[in-house]
Amino acid sequence: MKHKIRLWQALLAGANAVCLTAALILTAVGGSCAKSRQYDRAAEDWSGGQGGYSQISCFLTEDSGFKENSIGAVRAGLISALREASISAEEGKTLVPDAYSAEVGTSTVKAAKSRSEAKITAVAGHFFLFRSFRLLSGSYLSDDLVMQDGAVIDSELAFDLYGSTDVAGMDIFIDGEKFYVSGVVEAPTDKADKKCAGKTRRAYITYEGASTISASSSYSDPSSSSDYSDYSDYAPAAGFDKVTCYECIVPDPVKNLAKNSVKKQFKSYEDNCELVVNSTRYDPRKLAKAFGKLSSLAVREKPIVLPFWENASRMTEVKLSFIYFARRLTLIIPILTAAGALIWGYVLWQRNKQRLLKKAGKTLRGLRKRAGALKQKKDHI
């Protein structure tokens, strides 16, 4: 007898199809959004996609007391913790690649005939390993360089000063101090990065370079002259050594080993520090649960000024929390339908168990009898 599909069954099937399609679309959108945040995938890049590493960032307040000379103790503590866990560096690799940075401020950057305002960031360690910047010309800064007066500038600043991005090796002056352009990176193109970075041009210099920048607010600006050879009226600012962002890639063969090791090193700064595990921040289950606690992502309890790349990642977290929470909602009807089908199937089984078992036994005996007949026929042949 042909089964006639009822209206409610058709409607339920349609609702399930729509919900499952929506869930698949939301999954694809969420995955694409998470992958676009290249900044949070440094550990994946470092391991060559093999896993086993965690990327961790620590953001500190301006008055935390964490200085450049604090880095050595953190590195030593992390290496010691890893050695206790019998973890050593792979051949040709640093055990714990790390970087640190801090905003120096907004300064006037000049070339021979042009000038522009730019935000200056002091960087050290493997800073550019953690960034998703695309190098357009020249090279990145490195702690190994003998001369520490290089600057990596973004493409917009390069165009303002020279009308080109191919300006590696050219001279620029930041608040009167002479630097050379080590490299030019593409200005942010990701939507979240562009929103958080704003329109201000950016330049990245070494800590040694930051220490030489003059306190221009206290001295007259000699740049009104086209001759940039004499800056004797400028007095260098005090040594720059503050750190407001520390980030590292740590071997993580055991769950939370990396996180707990880093957390231990910053325990004395915990009232002035926020720790982020970049590698797992876009986990769908965690973000779906965080939807009801969005204030924890949007409101900061500590006076920490985050760099634009971290603000962009937090924007992405909020966006993904909506996406993954919506995905959970779309799965409610399919889950309830599946649960209802299982319950109804169990009820039918209980009602017809004896008849079905009897029929199954009869079918099994028939199969055995047929198999025996086939065997006899084969033996006879």
Number of folded domains that form the chain? 1
Q: Across-strand partners of 192?
A: none
The model's pLDDT over 130-187, given as tens digits with 9 standing for 90+, comes to: 998 999 999 999 887 767 789 999 999 999 999 999 999 999 999 989 999 999 999 9
- Is pLDDT above 90 for 218? no
Integer CA distances (angstroms), 378 to 113, 365, 369, 372, 374, in order: 101, 20, 14, 10, 6
Phi, psi of 273 (to 5 degrees): -145, 145
Q: Within a domain: residue 5?
A: no
The three-class DSSP label of residue 91 is coil
Max CA distance (Å), the chain? 115
131: domain range?
41-281
Q: Within a domain: residue 106?
A: yes
The model's pLDDT over 295-348, given as tens digits with 9 standing for 90+, comes to: 555 556 678 889 999 999 999 999 999 999 999 999 999 999 999 999 988 888
- Both structure tokens of 365: 């005996």
Min mean pLDDT across 148-152, 201-205, 235-239, 375-379 is at 235-239
DSSP state of 3: P
- CA distance linking residue 72 with residue 61, whole number of Å: 19
Q: What percent of the chain has pLDDT over 70?
A: 88
Q: Within a domain: residue 345?
A: no
- ∠ CA 333-338-342, rounded to 5°: 145
- Both structure tokens of 201: 């041009």
- CA distance linking residue 245 with residue 275, whole number of Å: 10
| pLDDT classification of 361: cutoffs 50, 70, 90 | confident
| pLDDT classification of 380: cutoffs 50, 70, 90 | low
Element spanning 361, H or E: helix 332-380
- Both structure tokens of 195: 């929103």
What's residue 2's pLDDT?
60
Q: What percent of the chain has pLDDT over 90?
A: 54
Element spanning 93, H or E: none
CA 98 and chain centroid, separation? 15
| pLDDT classification of 292: cutoffs 50, 70, 90 | low
What's residue 337's pLDDT?
93
Q: Within a domain: residue 270?
A: yes
The model's pLDDT over 91-108, given as tens digits with 9 standing for 90+, comes to: 777 899 999 999 999 999
Q: Within a domain: residue 129?
A: yes
Arithmetic mean of pLDDT over the chain: 85
> Which has the higher per-residue pLDDT, 6 or 122?
122
- CA distance linking residue 100 with residue 38, whole number of Å: 18
Q: Across-strand partners of 152?
A: 183, 204
Contacts (Cβ under 8 Å, ≥6 apart) of 224: none
The DSSP string of 99-151 is EEEEEEEEEEEE-SS-EEEEEEEEEEESGGGS--PPEEEE----TT-S---EE
Is pTM, for the whole model, over 0.85?
no
Q: What is the mean pLDDT of residues 342-367?
A: 83
Q: Within a domain: residue 264?
A: yes
Q: Within a domain: residue 17?
A: no
Q: What is the mean pLDDT of residues 250-254?
A: 89
What's residue 53's pLDDT?
92
- Is pLDDT above 60 for 225? no
The model's pLDDT over 11-53, given as tens digits with 9 standing for 90+, comes to: 989 999 999 999 999 999 999 998 888 889 999 888 887 888 9
Q: What is the mean pLDDT of residues 261-289?
A: 91
- CA distance linking residue 87 with residue 56, whole number of Å: 18
Q: Within a domain: residue 252?
A: yes
In the chain, the amino acid numbered 320 is L
Radius of gyration of the chain (CA): 31
What's residue 381's pLDDT?
63
Residue with tokens 């599946």: 338
Q: Say if residues 60 and 364 touch (Cβ distance below 8 Å).
A: no
What's residue 231's pLDDT?
33
